[in-house]
Amino acid sequence: MDLVPLLGGGIGISAGPVPTASGTAPPDYIDGDNVDELDVTNPNTGNILSTDIITVNASSDIANDNTSSDATVDGLGVSIVGVLPLLTIGADTVVSTADVSGDCSSGTLTATGTTTIEGAGVGGTLGLGLTIDVSPTPNFELINLLGIRVILNEQIITGDGVNSRGITVNAIHIDLSNTILSLIGALSGDIIIAQSQAQVQCNEVTTSANLSMVKEDSVDPATVGVPFNYTLTVSNAGPDDATNVIVTDIIPSSFTVGTITPSQGSCDPLAGSTLTCNLGTIGNGGSATVTIEVTPTQAGNISNTAVASSDQPDPDPSDNSDTESTTVEGDGEPSANLSILKESSPDPVIVNQILTYTVTVTNLGPSDATNTVVTDTLPVGAIFGSAVPDQGTCDESLGVVTCQLGTVSGGESVVIIITVTPTVVGTAVNNVTVVSDVDDPDSNNNSDTEDTDVDPAPAPPSPSPSGPPTEPTDSPFPPPGGPGGVTAIPTLSGWAMMILPMLLIIAAVYLLKRQERERRSRVM
């Protein structure tokens, strides 16, 4: 167990050495050290770090499977670029503690760490309005701007809690990656104030796995409001398999997180700003990746660090973490990446039948899209039916549908249902676009075209064939069955034609009989 308040290289230390206290058990040990004061200066910028008394202690208790350490820094003063300070941090007392305890026989080991910062104050150009709590929450990001990142109560936990457990507590961790400061020789690297470490290894170490972490950004410089990816690659140089591989990444507060994709294992939902992924086992010579989609919300030089650990001791832990610095450009104005998709049903459709379009507008963020407007140019010859949006209103004029959707929040979608009746056979071409009042970083997905086949209506069925025509007769009655096999009912004139001959015959018979009676009467 080592306790070293780390300082950046290439600078002058006016008092020293930096106090350390450490030990390896068994047997039990107790160690301590202190120094009256410490001053760190740079010839270009003056005083960087000053302290009063620094005290460190370390101890172990084999019988109770316990080891612990603490570090106390009194009268702390930090100034990043002393002539014209960008950031200053002062405190009356800074204390960190690290402790591992438990029971090796039952395989229960617990790591705890604390940080106490009393009488703290923050100043400088970047420190205006910032405050430091007496007991910061673990891994609290105080600032990450212009290549200056400050983490309070940084806690890094290793081991599986069964056979081993370790913890490193950095009360104040200042990561400097400002390109301008590096060029003028001011300072770059890390300043760690009050570091404590503790570790318990229950069993004899028989295996080891040399893990390494590489973190890369997909673009540099990036742009405010435009997503890009971080790729974390964990490799195992052996000699043994690395089990229970854990990746931890504290996402900067100036990023919003999108999709998280591990090549194996799984990632937990963000806990605050901390991402934790369990990648399972990485064999000797193998590797695994985690891809993180982020969207920057402010400009600056943003640093991001990822750490890998496993259940096996690592013979070279110096490469278990990697920090990627990305320059983000832009003025921080809101932006909303709108996309639009159009689908038709049915396809193909019969001419003069109803055709339904489904239009989906999605805001990929990061900002809300205000005054969102969708314009849909209907196919030539199509008769408009209706347009119904999830929100807002739609109107149609001269074959163009315009929908006022209002505000579409980041990550949300709005669906519009449009019905038309195509009257022209062929291909019905429909174009739709979306815009808003907010800047869109990717206009390539702001329009869509849907082609739908319009088929002709099917021909009506042919009539059934009839028998050969019959010869006409003099009868006033239609032939049986009638033309085409259909029986006709006589009309009024038809009935008259049938009755008249019968009446004439009856009248003729009556006249003949009357004449016969008159003749007989004269003879008599």
- In angstroms, the CA 151 to CA 192 distance is 10
Q: Give 132's DSSP letter.
A: -
Using 70 as the pLDDT threshold, list the residues of the chain that sit under it: 1-17, 42-46, 81-84, 178-188, 204-206, 331-333, 462-498, 500-501, 503-504, 507-510, 519-524
Contacts of 406 by beta carbon, 8 Å cutoff, 6+ apart: 370, 371, 372, 391, 392
Which pLDDT score, from 0 to 100, does residue 475 have?
53
Q: Over the stretch 111-148, which tens digit does the pLDDT of each residue have?
A: 999 999 999 999 988 888 899 999 999 999 999 988 88
Q: Over the stretch 245-293, which tens digit does the pLDDT of each residue have?
A: 999 999 988 888 999 999 999 999 888 889 999 999 999 999 999 999 9
**Structure tokens given for 201:** 């290894």
**Alpha carbon 506 to chain centroid distance?**
106
The vertex-422 CA angle with 418 and 424, nearest 5°, equals 155
**Structure tokens given for 443:** 């206009």
C-alpha distance from residue 496 to each of 133, 400, 490, 503, 505 (Å): 119, 67, 10, 10, 15
Residues in the chain: 524
CATH of 336-455, one of 1.10.1380.10, 3.40.50.1370, 3.40.50.300, 2.60.40.1510: 2.60.40.1510
Per-residue exposure over 60-80, b if at least 16 CB sit within 10 Å of its own CB, e if not: beeeebbbbbbbbbbbbbbbb
C-alpha distance from residue 111 to each of 4, 65, 157, 158, 199 (Å): 19, 12, 7, 9, 8
Q: Could you list the beta-strand ranges (E) of 252-354.
A: 255-262, 266-267, 274-282, 287-296, 300-309, 321-329, 336-345, 349-350
Q: Give 351's DSSP letter.
A: T
- In angstroms, the CA 328 to CA 97 distance is 36
C-alpha distance from residue 285 to each of 15, 239, 254, 275, 302 (Å): 45, 8, 35, 25, 32
Per-residue exposure over 453-492, b if at least 16 CB sit within 10 Å of its own CB, e if not: ebeeeeeeeeeeeeeeeeeeeeeeeeeeeeeeeeeeeeee
- In angstroms, the CA 99 to CA 59 distance is 10
**Terminal Cα-to-Cα distance of the chain (whole angstroms):** 171
Class of domain 205-332: mainly beta
217 DSSP β-pair partners: 230
Q: How many CA atoms lie within 13 A of 434 on its CB side?
A: 34
If DSSP codes are grouped into helix, strand and coil, which group holds residue 523? helix
At 506, give phi and psi (nearest 5°): -65, -40
- In angstroms, the CA 226 to CA 503 distance is 106
* CATH fold match for the domains 205-332 and 336-455: yes
Which pLDDT score, from 0 to 100, does residue 501 have?
67
**Structure tokens given for 248:** 């931890």
- In angstroms, the CA 367 to CA 409 distance is 7
Locate the domains of the chain by residue range: 1-203, 205-332, 336-455
Token look-up 């404590």 returns 196
- In angstroms, the CA 469 to CA 500 distance is 29
421 DSSP β-pair partners: 383
CA trace torsion 376, 381, 387, 393 (10° rounding): 50
- In angstroms, the CA 453 to CA 189 distance is 64
Cβ atoms 52, 35 nearer than 8 A: no
Mode of pairing for the β-strands spanning 222-223 and 321-329:
parallel
- Sign of the Cα pseudo-torsion (328, 139, 260, 343, in order): negative
| C-alpha Rg value of the chain to the nearest Å | 45
**Structure tokens given for 448:** 């869509």
**Structure tokens given for 91:** 């405190």
Which pLDDT score, from 0 to 100, does residue 230 have?
95
- In angstroms, the CA 264 to CA 101 distance is 32
What is the pTM assigned to this prediction?
0.42
- In angstroms, the CA 76 to CA 152 distance is 14
